[in-house]
Structure 1
Amino acid sequence: MSTIVYTAASPAKLLLVDDHPMLRRGMSDLLSLEGDVKVVGEASDGKQALDFLQNNAVDLVILDHNMPVLTGIETLKEIKARHIKVKTLLFTVSDSGNDVQEALKLGVDGYLLKDMEPDLIIDDIRKILRGELVISPNLASILAQTLRTPSASDIAGNLTIRELEVIQMIAKGLSNKMIANKLDIAESTVKVHVKHILNKTGLRTRVDAAVWTVNNLSK
């Protein structure tokens, strides 16, 4: 998916989905102070959100998890099943490693907890719009506990210098295309590196690789 380009003259369009009106109002007020994003719709549950997305173009959907009718995870599944091209952020109080892992497997672009500072929320929303994957820092260790991964020394020792560069970029949420541009190599070559990384380390997915790297190579 191509990186979204947004400016104050052409702000990114956001949809807020939460069953608490006060939280939607607070988020809407917070985002209204920023010139490069604009709330174009609100919904109190996943079904309303899907109905809105059926008829309106949106750049980012900000989803609560614990909602009536459809939860945030269930809404993510429907967005994927319907092939709706939109970035998604799960903004929730749930710090369950299983919830985080399931959301990431569904292709969520961000998973943030509601106790974050407002300025950090805005910064992370911008990162998502630029094509980065964002996760609340204190969730990385929780998610790591749900994954069975090899030891740090075993993984690092099996990887080449180039593969270590690639896995670091995966951890930052960069796509294969973005990694290729940064390393000045073909995207197909990046795919080969990713395949070798997973085969060598025994990690199953890019998500596993990203979580392992955050906890072992990014300190």
Structure 2
Amino acid sequence: MTDTPIRLLIADDHPVVRDGFRGIFTAEPGFDVVGEAGDGAEAVAMAKALRPDVVLMDLRMPVMGGVEAIRELARTGLPIKVLVLTTFDTDQDVRPAIEAGATGYLLKDTARPDLVKAVRTAARGEAVLSPTVAARLMSQVRTPQETLSDRELEILHLIAEGCSNRETAKRLFLSEATVKTHLLHLYAKLGVNDRAAAVATGFRRGLLHLDDR
């Protein structure tokens, strides 16, 4: 385990909101707030220059919105995780952000301990969703039987084996971003919001068996 702090960039067009987030993370051990951006274009430029581990990204900002900024960061190939933190949970907001490459999606009413935990989770490259967003995604991707696709089952088996997103991507010849999107859809179908719960639910529903591990 490393003692290196998680480098964090805060992107929000409201200075008061940025101040609030900065206060939260400067008070927490293990974080280093390296910068603040007031719009998506500034966030992309600062992320390229400062190389944070995680960007806390608002969605609706001037000059360049959050989804476009996430796409731009994905194109750079830099190992920067983006955690969306917004007041909006509509279909038009959630899915485009995730498909653009966001590692997670939280709402601004998330409790402080949950927010801190989510940033640590995102820094590890693991997907994280607020419960309301998970429910919304579930309504978008569910089938009448709420069954997992073959690809989602493959990914569930690999995370049950302890594979990281990177290892899963390598074994399935996919990009990490694609694995994250499948993971988020898988979470939505199972009604969970993290890897451990997905595996536990997989065993409970008979999708996983002890022999598989």
The question of a shared fold, defined as TM-score above 0.5 by the shorter chain, is answered with yes
Query: 2:21 maps to which residue?
Result: 27
What letter matches 1:175 in structure 2? N
Q: What is the TM-score when the length of structure 2 is the normalising length?
A: 0.75
* CA shift in 2, pair 1:169/1:133, >3 Å: farther
Contact (CA 8 Å) 1:91, 1:113: kept in 2 or not?
Answer: yes
Q: Which runs of 5+ in 1 are unaligned?
A: 181-186, 195-203
The answer to whether structure 1 residue 125 and structure 2 residue 125 are counterparts is no
Q: Percent identity?
A: 29
Distance change in 2, residues 1:205/1:150 (3 Å): farther
Runs (4+) of structure 1 exceeding 6 A deviation are none
Measured after TM superposition, the shift of residue 139 of structure 1 is 1.3
For the 8 Å contact 2:105–2:129, the answer to whether it is kept is: yes
Relative to structure 1, is the Cα distance of residues 33 and 164 closer, same or farther in structure 2, using a 3 angstrom cutoff? closer
* 3-state SS of paired residue (1:16): strand
Counterpart residue identity of residue 186, structure 2: A
118-127 or 99-108, which deviates more: 99-108
* Cross-structure match for 1:79: 73
CA distance in 1, matches of 2:155, 2:120: 27
CA distance in 2, matches of 1:125, 1:54: 19
Q: What pairs with 1:3-152 in structure 2 (closer than 5 Å)?
A: 6-7=2-3, 10-152=4-146
8 Å Cα contact 2:138-2:191 kept in structure 1: no
**Normalising to structure 1: TM-score of the pair?**
0.73
Rg larger in 1 or in 2? 1
- Deviations along 1:104-129, whole A, 9 cap, x unmatched? 21221110000111111001111111
Equivalent-residue separation in structure 1 for 2:136 and 2:37 (angstroms): 30
Change in CA separation of 1:164 and 1:43 when aligned onto 2, cut-off 3 Å:
closer
Which segments of 5 or more consecutive residues in structure 2 lack a partner in the other structure?
175-180, 193-197, 205-213
Where 1:145 maps in the other structure, the secondary structure is helix
Q: Is the 8 A contact 1:6 1:36 kept in 2?
A: no
* Structure 2 CA distance for aligned equivalents of residues 21 and 173 of structure 1: 39
Contact 2:67 2:97 in 1 (8 A): yes
Amino acid at match of 1:100: V
Query: C-alpha distance in 1, partners of 2:113/2:13?
Result: 23
Q: Is the contact between residue 110 and residue 128 of structure 1 (CA under 8 Å) also seen in structure 2?
A: yes
Secondary structure class of the residue paired with 2:84 = strand
Aligned equivalents of 1:101, 1:169: Cα separation in 2: 25
